[in-house]
């Protein structure tokens, strides 16, 4: 079903997306581009080298400065239409936040991973899927720039939080009910003995 949805999406994107969509599709399905993750491996290598060079303070440089770090690194990529472009971000939330927030980004990552794990532990598949999708998609392509993406991801993460909270309450109520049942059974046993 998902494969069919993906194919239909590609066809619609190709038919109604205009000339820019053709460039995107060609780059996404080119073997050279796939081998280097559409240039991401070069961007990530540059960012990791930048972090290792200790040019970034432990508090990061701020979100407004990370695009200039890419420009200063002279990272340019040739598009299929023979034009060069400079990537607007690092295509990875871990790198983007690490450069922007420094060690404070660890708090955000810890929270997201912790909530994903809690969703898994509480068997809350919807929240686990949402957190997992968010983390996976943002590790491969950082897209929290435009306001609409921020709103969409905020709604998704809010939905996941609501799912975990609801599942946790239900689990606690079931546990309390089970403990009450055990207490009642013990009282009945002690009253029969007496």
Matching residue, tokens 């034009």: 83
84 and 7 within one domain? no
| pLDDT (0 to 100) of residue 193 | 67
41 and 30 within one domain? no
176 and 89 within one domain? yes
The burial class, CB within 10 Å (0-12 / 13-18 / 19+), for 124 is: buried
| pLDDT (0 to 100) of residue 8 | 72
Task: Please report how many Cα atoms fall inside a 13 Å half-sphere around the Cα of residue 53, on the Cβ side.
Answer: 10
| pLDDT (0 to 100) of residue 148 | 67
| pLDDT (0 to 100) of residue 43 | 79
107 and 82 within one domain? yes
119 and 46 within one domain? yes
11 and 82 within one domain? no
Domain count, the chain: 2
5 and 76 within one domain? no
- Report d(CA 179, CA 175) in Å as an integer: 6
Please report, for the chain, how many H helices and E strands are present, in that order.
9, 2
45 and 18 within one domain? no
137 and 79 within one domain? yes
46 and 24 within one domain? no
| pLDDT (0 to 100) of residue 50 | 79
User: Virtual CA dihedral for 140, 63, 108, 55, nearest 10 degrees?
Assistant: 90
- The segments of the chain whose pLDDT lies below 70 read 1-3, 5-6, 9-11, 13-38, 61-82, 88, 143-148, 193-194
140 and 69 within one domain? yes
93 and 57 within one domain? yes
What's the domain range around 49?
37-193
Region at 141 (left for phi over 0; alpha for psi -120 to 50; beta for the rest): beta
């Amino acid at each position: 079903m998902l494969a069919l949805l993906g194919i239909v999406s590609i066809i619609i994107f190709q038919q109604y997306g205009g000339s820019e969509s053709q460039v995107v599709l060609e780059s996404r399905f080119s073997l050279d581009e796939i081998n280097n993750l559409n240039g991401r491996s070069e961007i990530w290598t540059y960012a990791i080298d930048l972090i290792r060079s200790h040019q970034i303070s432990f508090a990061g440089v701020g979100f407004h400065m990370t695009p200039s770090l890419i420009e200063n690194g002279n990272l340019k990529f040739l598009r299929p239409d023979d034009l060069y472009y400079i990537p607007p971000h690092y295509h990875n939330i871990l790198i983007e936040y690490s450069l922007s927030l420094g060690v404070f980004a660890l708090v955000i990552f810890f929270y997201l991973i912790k909530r994903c794990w809690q969703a898994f532990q509480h068997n809350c598949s919807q929240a686990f899927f949402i957190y997992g999708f968010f983390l996976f998609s943002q590790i491969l392509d950082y897209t929290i720039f435009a306001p609409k993406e921020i709103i969409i991801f905020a709604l998704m993460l809010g939905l996941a939080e609501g799912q975990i909270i609801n599942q946790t309450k239900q689990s606690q109520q079931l546990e309390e009910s089970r403990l009450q049942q055990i207490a009642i059974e013990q009282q009945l046993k002690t009253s029969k003995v007496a």
